Structure 1
Amino acid sequence: MVIDHVGHAASEVEGDHTLIASDDFVESDVMLGEKKIKAPVLFRGIGHSLNPANSLVLKVLSASPSAYSANPKTKLSVPPSLTGSAISLVSVVQARNNARVLISGSLDLFSNRFLRSGVQKVGSSIKHEKSGNEQFVIEISKWIFHERGHLKAVNVKHHIAGETSEPAMYRINDDLEYSVEIYEWSGAAWKPYVADDVQVQFYMMSPYVLKTLSNDEKGLYSASFKVPDVYGVFQFKVEYQRLGYTSLSLAKQIPVRPFRHNEYERFITTAYPYYGASFSTMAGFFIFTIAYLYHK
């Protein structure tokens, strides 16, 4: 069980201190709502730990630095292996396919008794008439069941600047425009998603262009840039991951060709010295031939 002799609920001062009053929540309005949970959450159960190398898991409710995991009915013979803020009371997993899972070490956290019970943290003079369990459970359930924090991308488009149709391929140094519409599910309808950190990559083995998309606050994200002076098979890639939101992974393949033989400029200003050298060589050879044939 998770035991905390400093952060337990005041109603069980003389008990084994397994009734935890925790207020160490994840800082995310998407996951726990814009209205801040003011009262601590009552928790009695087991703790678990997360692999810090795993980017798919996240602590939603953590234990205090004074907590530890042990059997309250036996005497500790060795220091506990799981202590402090490393103990996760409630965690979530968002898989790569955006499936969501909640893991809690306490069934009592969801009980009617805990939802309706008052709470006072030991050492605190503030007594809350109602614990934060109900608000916490409702808000995290909305996130788990995709009622909040769910994104979708539609109408992915790209074309040459000044045109509207999507070409089969681009030419090096073309000016192009890329756009995508991103919406967020509000629980009742899709509404425009507004952010300033969505980026597009023009990618071939590595990103040749990385551009931040500008938005019109109506869901439309767009950017314009020049095709690099490299030909091959490129991809438009949008990889968007933000805390509390489903991830977006968009990819669209497009080839890039060099200039055709009839698309180059015929006379380039910087090449005039070479033109002069060629014509002077021809003139010199002609004069040498006349002099060699007709001069004794």
Structure 2
Amino acid sequence: MRSISSFITVLSFLPLLCHSFSPENPTDRRLLVLLDDFSLKSSHSIFFHSLQSRGFELDFKLADDPKLTLQRYGQYLYDGLILFSPNTDSFGGSLNLGAVLDFVDSGHDLIVAADLSASDLIRNIGTELGVDFDEDPSAVVIDHTSYAVSETEGDHTLIASDDFIQSDVILGQTKIEAPILFKGIAHSLNAANSLVLKVLSASPSAYSSNPSSKSSQPPSLTGSTVSLVSVLQARNNARIMISGSLDMFSNRFFVSAVQKAGSTNIYKKSGNQQFVSELSKWVFHERGHLKVVNLGHHKVGEVDEPAMYRIKDDLDFSVEIYEWSGNSWEPYVANDVQVQFYMMSPYVLKTLATNQKGLYSTSFKVPDVYGVFQFKVEYHRLGYTSLSLSKQIPVRPFRHNEYDRFITTAFPYYGASFTTVAGFFIFSFIFLYNK
């Protein structure tokens, strides 16, 4: 009896235990921030506070913490990962290169910041994500025409760049006026990866080299091939930001005045804070995130969705698309959303009309081909999450009693048949009764 009562007592605590060890709710928007040193919490506090003010919960840990883990009981504990640990040769706990890539493959977001002392681990992460850092570990970005003017001329490794990607959805609609201060290493985009984009580029006069030594070989990265900050949106809509500078996120660069060489404009504050804040909004899906609801179709004049269509039926198709504004879902308005009526290849391709309130619709006639078709909506636009959805529907031919009794185009054949009958009758009459 005592064992039975003990078993019942344990069972009574199971719901509580399951609740206590359940993974975090993904709507909590938890971010894991890995640091080389906890001093980065204060030196980069403006950036971290901007994330917290937008509702993110930050979990700061050292990159070599032996208890590091991204998931528990098969569920991920975080929605995003920030790697501000360029010096780390290996992560602690169960975290490694493969775990980071699996985290991205599962649809989660990532920010990677490197600097001159970037380890092979950080460089390998960049390589797996579609960018290649300069192989020379002592090389930094140098620009003798687009550097930031300072009291000491220096070696022109403090770059003032204003070559941004032209995309409001990625960088926001408010134009960044002041140049971005950048001091770090260069990377290039892997030509085999079509998903990675330059967000902040170096000027044509920039190159990657060691400023303290003379090299007999030309720089491997020069001009337009040098990328300072790049982003990637994977096919599963995970978003990644890769920066060659950790200082770019620092309070010092956020509040520093900046003057670009060759310009008379002096800005009291660099554009770093606006640039990083707006770009992080895109990375963490606060902007440019779409969803599709209420995909439907029915015959013209009806309301209910049929189990199948007949060839040459007239049908109405509709779908609703909304965009996340950071606080709520708002109607997404565009004029380039299309639907395909697809079987092996698209038989119908129609651009959807919108009512400016999120509803997209069109009408068309089912083609004169029967089989199993799909309504397919595939939408790919720079900066927005990709939409790919389909709905299957069979199309049948006419039944035997659904064909028209007389077809207009067949009148010549009808006439030929009756003429043949009449001719045969006249011939038979003459043959039988004419002597």
The Cα shift of 1:152 comes to 0.2
Q: 148, 160, 173: which one pairs with 2:299?
A: 160
Q: 290, 293, 298: which one pairs with 1:151?
A: 290
The Cα shift of 1:136 comes to 0.7
Partner in structure 2 of residue 213 of structure 1: 352
Q: Which runs of 5+ in 2 are unaligned?
A: 1-139
Matches within 5 A, 1:259-270: 259-270=398-409
After superposition, give the CA deviation of every residue in 1:6-53 in whole Å (9 maximum; x if it has no partner). Answer: 101101652111110111111111111111110011001111111345
| 3-state SS of paired residue (1:200) | strand
Q: Distance in 2 between matches of 1:68 and 1:187?
A: 38
Report whether the alignment pairs 1:114 with 2:243: no
The Cα shift of 1:269 comes to 2.8
Q: Which runs of 5+ in 1 are unaligned?
A: none
Matches within 5 A, 1:26-105: 26-105=165-244
Q: Which amino acid aligns with 1:210?
A: L
Instruction: Give the number of the structure whose residues are more often helix, by fraction.
Output: 2
Q: 406, 411, 423: which one pairs with 1:284?
A: 423
Report whether the alignment pairs 1:186 with 2:295: no
After superposition, give the CA deviation of every residue in 1:92-124 in whole Å (9 maximum; x if it has no partner). Answer: 110011000110010000011111111111111
| 3-state SS of paired residue (1:273) | helix
Contact 1:12 1:19 in 2 (8 A): no
Q: Which amino acid aligns with 2:196?
A: V
Q: Distance in 1 between matches of 2:254 and 2:415?
A: 91
| 3-state SS of paired residue (1:244) | coil
| 3-state SS of paired residue (2:399) | coil
Compute the TM-score of the two structures, normalised by the length of structure 1: 0.95
Contact 1:172 1:257 in 2 (8 A): yes
Q: Distance in 2 between matches of 1:279 and 1:207?
A: 43
Q: Distance in 2 between matches of 1:283 and 1:124?
A: 98
The Cα shift of 1:180 comes to 0.3
Q: Which amino acid aligns with 2:373?
A: F
Report whether the alignment pairs 1:132 with 2:274: no
The Cα shift of 1:292 comes to 4.6
Q: 350, 360, 363: which one pairs with 1:224?
A: 363
Partner in structure 2 of residue 272 of structure 1: 411
Aligned length: 296
Q: Distance in 2 between matches of 1:158 and 1:85?
A: 48
Q: Distance in 2 between matches of 1:181 and 1:12?
A: 57
Q: Distance in 2 between matches of 1:102 and 1:218?
A: 32
Partner in structure 2 of residue 237 of structure 1: 376
| 3-state SS of paired residue (1:85) | helix
| 3-state SS of paired residue (2:188) | coil
The Cα shift of 1:289 comes to 4.2
Partner in structure 1 of residue 154 of structure 2: 15
- Of 163-172 and 190-199, deviating more is 163-172
Partner in structure 1 of residue 391 of structure 2: 252
Compute the TM-score of the two structures, normalised by the length of structure 2: 0.66
Structure of greater relative contact order (alpha carbons < 8 Å, 6+ residues apart) = 1
